[in-house]
Amino acid sequence: MPILTVRNVPDDVHRALRVRAARNGRSTEAEVRQILASAVMPQKRVRLGDALAMLGREIGLSNADVEAIGQGKDKAAAEPVRFE
């Protein structure tokens, strides 16, 4: 696991970290890890379907547009790839 060193942390910030860690029942190091994780990780997993639906709403895609895309598809089965 990588090691991260943070230099020149002001005394009042370090003191606040120690107090916050004690309040949460963690070491200062564990508290910093938790703060970093919550700052950079999404709150919930992004689902592809939800993201695509949101994108469709943002660009004004309608049900009729989706149906038109579906009608333009070739319904024939694809030929399997042959490795000879």
**Helix H or strand E encompassing 66:** helix 63-71
Share in percent of the chain as helix, strand, coil (round to 5): 55, 0, 45
Return the structure tokens found at 25.
């029942």
The label of the residue with tokens 């989706």 reads: 66
Q: Can you say how many angstroms the Cα of residue 20 is from the centroid of all Cα atoms in its chain?
A: 26
Q: What is the pLDDT of residue 44?
A: 78
Q: What is the pLDDT of residue 5?
A: 94
pTM above 0.75, yes or no: no
Chunked mean pLDDT (size 10), the chain, 84 residues: 93 97 96 93 82 90 83 78 87
